[in-house]
Amino acid sequence: METISISKSILLFLIAIQLGCQLISSSVTYDGKAIVINGRRRILISGSIHYPRSTPEMWEDIIMKAKEGGLDVIETYVFWNVHEPSPGNYNFEGRYNLVRFLKTVQKAGLYAHLRMGPYVCAEWNFGGFPVWLKYVPGISFRTDNEPFKRAMKGFTEKIVNLLMYENLFEPQGGPIILSQIENEYGALDKKYGAAGYNYMTWAAEMAVGLRTGVPWTMCKQDDAPDPIINTCNGFYCDAFKPNKPYKPTLWTEAWTGWFTEFGGAVHKRPVQDLAFAVARFIQKGGSFVNYYMYHGGTNFGRSAGGPFITTSYDYDAPLDEYGLIRQPKYGHMTELHKAIKRCEPALVSGDPTVFSLGAHQQAHVFYSEFGHCAAFLSNYNTANATRVMFNKMHHTLPPWSISILPDCSNIIFNTAKIGVQSTRMSMIPDNSQMLSWESYSEDLTTSVEDSTFTSFGLLDQVNVTRDASDYLWYITSVDVGPSESFLHGGEHPKLLVQSTGHALHVYINGQLAGSAFGTRESRRIKYKNTIKLRSGRNKIALLSVAMGLSNIGGHYESWETGILGPVVLYGLDQGKRDLTHAKWSYQVGLKGEAMDVVSTNGMSSVEWVQGSLIAQNNQPLTWHKAYFNQPNGNEPLALDMHSMRKGQVWVNGQSIGRYWTAYATGDCQRCHYSGNYRPTKCQVGCGRPTQRWYHVPRSWLKPTGNILVLFEELGGDPTRISLAKRSMTRVCADMFEYRPNNKDWLTESYGKTQVIHRPKIHIQCNPGLLISSIKFASFGTPFGTCGNFQRGSCHAPSSYGVVSKRCIGKESCAITISNSNFGQDPCPNTLKRLTVEAVCAPTSRG
């Protein structure tokens, strides 16, 4: 007995030592310069791809494109509310299969940065917290509060254990090299005083105590305690320094664009400025950049945060919502990454030496002990190009740009000069039809008597629904005596309804009387309108619609949603009648939701009305359904919802998301790449629906007999809904000719030989598409942007013929920019360019 127990304890001891060694012999560390992996300092380029925002079938393709785009690391948040929908019940299936996602990253040979939060912000419903968390007794989010800390620790441990079990941390041979705890807590920390500081230090200790073997980060947390690395998020991060000299300078969110809200314009960030910001960060000694987002994807279901965040989370990222390459953003950043990587040996060797090259121009020069020299020449002037002298050579620096010289003599990249083609994607209507439309009107007969429950006064929406549905009915009744003067020719009464959001539909005696909507900034809404009452009992039914719970702000868990009043009827003979404290009855969700009409099983439980009646019907609060076959090909698909107004849509029982064709307001006039960027600077889509197309992943479809179900709140014509294929239809290329005094970034030295790269434009259609025509071609001084090019005063008449001959009928073509190619010089002594816009179309075979 004795011997057995002794050998048992020795065995346990040995296992413990081994585990301990495995954990502490971490191969990921850091120093003041960089993250160190297996003893090597690395300049790491990373990109955010959130696994629930695409489908597992899309992951590999997206991740491989990221790798080809020059990324080393994939970053994702972990989304607590999808993994633990109710306390203790976990879901890691399908789009929530975090392990599969990380293994796909690993298979691609990339690293991962896991931002565990569990608070994530991310324009995600409730910032990633499950709504049930709000109802844990005594809880207060993100502060020194025991119930919260217990829950946060429980979930963080759950994730770490799962990933350890799967050997996913780098010291175990897995891809994860970094993890983040909390998210941008710095500002709240200061606001919450001692409780904030205590919570932050607790979170740091808790995370470090999990012994994952890889470093932890805290973003926007100036006082992050050792060994946690504090990191920067923003449009620019070149002014950022970590809180200790022995921590590297990491940028965890380099915003590639911005998110969109319903009713707002779509934000674009010019790639020249993004490249400038990244080069500027690297030249200051930064060693890790993560693009937020590299692929934004889709807020399927009710996952959008908010309120009012659109279903599309495209973000103007290098890979678009559908996972397709966005040019020139993707290509230009890829070229930047190549240029940075060529400087890596010098970049990781030490701090740069900075030289002034002019009033707004600088050189940052890095030297390695092995004789490498790399230089970044920057021009911060927003308006003018400047000629500078560096290393005994003249260089012209475009405004607001950085040139990269990996050998300190040849410029191989300039952030403002785009050398890759631009593409224009279009939504091409597919001719497959939506078949046999049927509709079902949401039943409005619930009365105060037969609803779920009643209460005196108005209740917070989420307290009632627990976010099980976007919809909550508030129903009351008003008795009107036969002698009321408005019944005898007098003025009709007015109803005032004040709500804290997010949208409101007012029904009087079963008829829609009007609607009101909040905005993301002001969630308060006010409805005040004349209503038609009758003598006797009148039913006032208010449908409050939540459009994504807040994901940001101090103690947002306590913010209220829904109709909290006052609700007042004005203009009765007695004066005003305050209904705020009247008897209200509540019905959570829609009848169609309760009967699960979106699923094949639930669908048959209601009476659907045949198609021919629908067009006349055009009713609010109506469910519609139709069948369709999957369009052929492999282009991504989207539903064109322009004929509808507001609601939700499902395909084969899977929620595509909320739709709303609210028109975008904003200023879409100005956009220039130079100067500090802000989201309102470069907007598109003003005066059109903010989001017209809704991504339907192909993997959710069968070849035939797919079922589309939608719920429309306001009324629209479902028979005009169609599917569209997202295809690249236009390709543009544009480049300057080579001239001896304009040779920057066109020459390269290999030892003593100098190679001159004659500039060439390349045009490439997607596989299956051929160049069918040339929409624009000019060798001379053309101007404008892809889609709107125009001839300048100098133009070679042969331009169109030369380009057409080389390109039409081909998948790709290349044309060297030289006078001889175009017959003769159309304007000697003028710097010329070749600009082409080509049309890509399916091959006759395809």
Q: Which residues bind ligand GAL (CB under 6 A)?
A: 120-123, 183-184, 233, 253, 259
CB of 293 to ligand GAL, least distance (A): 8
Burial (0-12, 13-18, 19+ Cβ within 10 Å), 3: exposed
Q: Are 213 and 169 in contact (CB under 8 A)?
A: yes
> Is residue 291 helix, strand or coil?
strand
Q: Which is nearer to ligand GAL, 218 or 279 (CB)?
A: 218
CB of 122 to ligand GAL, least distance (A): 4
Q: Is 344 a catalytic residue?
A: no
**Structure tokens, 334:** 């890829």
Q: Are 42 and 72 in contact (CB under 8 A)?
A: yes
| Residues forming beta bridges with residue 783, ordered by sequence position | 790
Nearest-CA neighbor of 394 among 357, 354, 439, 364? 357
CB of 252 to ligand GAL, least distance (A): 8
Q: Which is nearer to ligand GAL, 132 or 235 (CB)?
A: 235
* Sign of the four-CA dihedral 53, 437, 723, 520: negative
Q: Which is nearer to ligand GAL, 231 or 414 (CB)?
A: 231
Cα separation, 364 vs 771, in Å, equals 43
CB of 691 to ligand GAL, least distance (A): 17
CB of 219 to ligand GAL, least distance (A): 7
DSSP string, 73-127: EEEEE--HHHH-SBTTB----GGG-HHHHHHHHHHTT-EEEEEEES---TTBGGG
Give the amino acid at 93. E
Residue among 184, 557, 635, 837 flagged as catalytic: 184
- Assign residue 517 a region (left: φ > 0; alpha: ψ between -120 and 50; beta: otherwise): beta
Nearest-CA neighbor of 642 among 627, 663, 622? 663
Q: Are 199 and 555 in contact (CB under 8 A)?
A: no
CB of 233 to ligand GAL, least distance (A): 5
Q: What does the buried/exposed string (b/e) look like for 553-591 if buried means 16 or more CB atoms within 10 Å of the residue's CB?
A: eeebbeeebbbbbebbbebbeeeebebbebebbbbbebb
Q: Are strands 646-651 and 706-712 parallel, antiparallel or unpaired?
A: antiparallel
Name the residue with the smallest CB distance to ligand GAL: 121
CB of 258 to ligand GAL, least distance (A): 7
Tell me the C-alpha to C-alpha distance, in Å, between residue 607 and each of 589, 599, 647, 709. Answer: 19, 15, 20, 14
Residue among 253, 261, 635, 837 flagged as catalytic: 253
**Which segments of 509-612 are extended strands (E)?**
511-517, 525-530, 536-545, 567-572, 575-578, 583-588, 609-610
Q: Which is nearer to ligand GAL, 120 or 275 (CB)?
A: 120
CB of 559 to ligand GAL, least distance (A): 17
Q: Which is nearer to ligand GAL, 183 or 477 (CB)?
A: 183
Residue with tokens 């701090």: 351
Q: Are strands 833-842 and 722-736 parallel, antiparallel or unpaired?
A: antiparallel
Cα separation, 112 vs 107, in Å, equals 12
Q: Which is nearer to ligand GAL, 329 or 833 (CB)?
A: 329
Q: Which is nearer to ligand GAL, 288 or 711 (CB)?
A: 288
Q: Which is nearer to ligand GAL, 232 or 807 (CB)?
A: 232
Q: Which is nearer to ligand GAL, 122 or 531 (CB)?
A: 122
Phi, psi of 29 (to 5 degrees): -135, -165
- Assign residue 353 a region (left: φ > 0; alpha: ψ between -120 and 50; beta: otherwise): beta
CB of 192 to ligand GAL, least distance (A): 18
Cα separation, 320 vs 63, in Å, equals 13
> Is residue 472 helix, strand or coil?
strand
CB of 255 to ligand GAL, least distance (A): 7
**Structure tokens, 568:** 């007042």
Q: Which is nearer to ligand GAL, 121 or 794 (CB)?
A: 121
Cα separation, 49 vs 293, in Å, equals 7
Give the amino acid at 791. R
Give the amino acid at 823. G
Q: Is 253 a catalytic residue?
A: yes
Q: Which residues are catalytic?
A: 184, 253
